[in-house]
Structure 1
């Protein structure tokens, strides 16, 4: 008899719950009684990630006081991030937890930083918690999402390979020679220059002395199948990157600016007046990013057959430091007939030859390829492995 009574009580209780769930006016709790979670701490602070960081390691914890919906409900806490001072209109999610803490791994924090910077530099993110009720009667009204207070966190993410605007080259006897392998970059393979680092804009130019001879365009060192070929040789025209057609032929030797757009596959070739240009005895790089620091210039070499194009085929630069180009081991600038070029980004830029020019920042250390044109101030400062990439 006792077992029958217990079973009957259970059935009546279940029936009551089901009838309650069928009530469309069911109210779980008034929204005005909800209490938002309180973000207490985000550990660690000022972390610097490097190539030696174990991205699976635990850095610390995110700690908070739980939200209160006025009844016992399973709540999911989502850690969101936005750029410092952002409005969280498009936040990213770092991780989630159903308790009052979240284990923060190196990968979670580093990945968050990579959403807001392409460079290895300190980044500050604003973080908050968003709550979601993960399980509730489907007939119950949707509960209001709650947000915590905001805390800022500063750290330096590690970016293994910073995306860079692609390098393109000229090859041929009109400049140096026909060697197309990566080892010839800076010699037979002469890099085009560009005045900006917009990866979507593929406009480049090369100003220098051309022999009365021929060239092709190279999109990938060592690969002739994707070389740029021409239907004709004129002041302007079209080319293709399937190596279908002939070489561009310079009818007369002289200084020219050869400009190309690899988006439209069009080119122009314009005579350049270099008659009044200063011919420097030496040009080098100087700065705390360079091998000799600020005390002395690291000399560059003239490109074969040129009087204004200088190259360093391989040099070790120090990350987090800066450099400039300097002529004749002197700080004289253009106003005194000298060369003291600075200000700009990498890998491409146009340096300013004035007494007020700034430095060129080198954010990541390593082996670099550098070429500089003292006629135009244009330069390329590119990690060697990126320049040589096929």
Structure 2
């Protein structure tokens, strides 16, 4: 019987391996992003014609294969390296039309004070319905002059070891619920751990931040001498109320029942992706089973909040953007389509929609 050794097997296989030759790598398909070709070097937004459109002409993106392309204009503050860009407008053609009032809100959100001007960075994100990654184009810097809207709505978020995100400024920090009639008044009812907290205006940034030095009023600091924390003496459910017009705040034990929780809470309505046919589930948190959030694209229309995918428990109100829902209340109006961060509190029915 003939036995093949390991060496003899190798000798037999070597000619076969040599005959195969080099293995060719798959070809690399070049891709080209979309650049801004034509746009105003300075954009001055006036309130009187804030509904007028501003045109951006961009170059075609090339994914290396024939495909549909959606061009989305994005903006961020100068030097932020597009860490948290905001979408301004989209188009299926290389002409992107931007409403002045939309750009005004985006510019103010990115640090251009109302009524002032400053540089912002713009870029184009090209995407396709095919299973291909989006292509990001080069950056263009444009000076934008904003107008002072009649009402600038400030958003406040919790941070601190007494809260769910801890001392992390971008960790699903719960939003305070702004009063629909007094934009300086904010209320938050929920669970706080023993510790302390502060308030932030912009997620991912430590300034501006609000705290207290005297235990009765808050002050803001956008750099330098920071205010002290707001202490929470013991874990429990509290109602925190603050009025930024005079800085007065209070932290009082919550005076209502806290034992009713729900397996799910969702949004439903003509403004949602599922219409009135089905709820879109929100995200809940073990830290406080009464607080819910979702980021959703809404159309102009109405929404409500409801529990456990059923109409037995639902909340509504007649105030857009923010308010306090009641059981079986009216539909909540959504006056403008957009992408929104939505927070809801099933403890007291309060809600807030924050445009992204």
TM-score when normalising by structure 1: 0.50
Out of 288, 300, 310, the position equivalent to 1:306 is: 288
Mapping of 1:1-390 within 5 angstroms?
164-176=152-164, 177-181=166-170, 184=171, 187=172, 189-198=173-182, 201-233=183-215, 237-242=216-221, 244-275=226-257, 277-312=259-294, 314-319=295-300, 321-332=301-312, 339-354=313-328, 357-384=329-356
Q: Residues of 2 paired with 1:252 and 1:162: CA distance?
A: 41
Secondary structure class of the residue paired with 1:179 = coil
Q: Residues of 2 paired with 1:262 and 1:53: CA distance?
A: 35
Note the C-alpha offset of 1:273: 3.5
Note the C-alpha offset of 1:304: 4.6
Do the aligned partners of 2:201 and 2:207 also contact (CA within 8 Å) in 1?
no
Q: Residues of 1 paired with 2:175 and 2:298: CA distance?
A: 20
Q: Residues of 2 paired with 1:53 and 1:322: CA distance?
A: 29
Q: Residues of 2 paired with 1:256 and 1:53: CA distance?
A: 47
Gaps of 5+ in 1: 1-48, 55-109, 115-160, 333-338, 385-390
Note the C-alpha offset of 1:204: 0.6
**Closer, same or farther in 2 for the Cα pair 1:252/1:285, shift >3 Å?**
same
Do the aligned partners of 2:211 and 2:218 also contact (CA within 8 Å) in 1?
yes
Q: Which has the higher strand share?
A: 2
Gaps of 5+ in 2: 1-49, 56-98, 102-148
Do the aligned partners of 2:302 and 2:333 also contact (CA within 8 Å) in 1?
yes
Q: Residues of 2 paired with 1:329 and 1:53: CA distance?
A: 42
What RMSD, in angstroms, separates the aligned Cα atoms of the two structures? 2.8
Task: Give the paired residue count.
Answer: 214
Do the aligned partners of 2:212 and 2:219 also contact (CA within 8 Å) in 1?
yes
Note the C-alpha offset of 1:221: 3.3
Bigger radius of gyration among the two: 1
Q: Residues of 2 paired with 1:227 and 1:290: CA distance?
A: 33
Do the aligned partners of 2:299 and 2:336 also contact (CA within 8 Å) in 1?
yes
TM-score when normalising by structure 2: 0.55
Do the aligned partners of 1:277 and 1:375 also contact (CA within 8 Å) in 2?
no
Note the C-alpha offset of 1:281: 1.2
Q: Residues of 2 paired with 1:162 and 1:293: CA distance?
A: 32
Q: Residues of 1 paired with 2:258 and 2:177: CA distance?
A: 22
